[in-house]
Amino acid sequence: MKCIVGIGGMTNGGKTTLTNSLQKALPNCCVIHQDDFFKPQDQIPVGDDGFKQWDVLESLDMEAMLGTVKAWVKKPQKFARAHGVTLQPHDPGTHILLIEGFLLYSYKPLLDLYSRRYFLTVPYEECKRRRSKRNYTVPDPPGLFDGHVWPMYQKYKQEMERDGVEVVCLDGMKSREELFHQVLEDVQNTLLNSF
């Protein structure tokens, strides 16, 4: 039994925190982070808004990401071992892949692969506050959040809604524990109903 779970949503919405908690709790669970597929900085163009276009789908090598997902689908045991995941002998037939990222549901070739899709959101002010407290390898220039990050989030969210992409919306303002238990229970039910 293979299960691919998307943990998507806005920047600083709690995706990585939730993903890391789920990985520890689920059997034979691997993770793919969309942030690992950013193109090199010199390949990220500057847009009409005057900012490097990090928050657009074109800034990511989505073909490479899709290839990585397909490698897991083809041989989840081999993928797990290659990524340091200890396989559970009491649950050898279940394999779970968590895919975490901010533009998971905008790349059509990935859409049909998900067993479950989650989408974390927090209000504008909270998102801006959290983002301002993060240390990025490439620091945010002044005005980036309002001038690029937030508008791009709204654009992709509207496209997702327009395209009718079904997601389970999660309130990123809930406690980490509450979100973790909500998604864990849902994923476990998905697995139970698949057998």
Active site residue 35: yes
Which amino acid is present at 78? K
Of 35, 49, 146, 163, the active-site residue reads: 35
Burial of 183 (0-12, 13-18, 19+ CB in 10 A): buried
Catalytic residues: 35
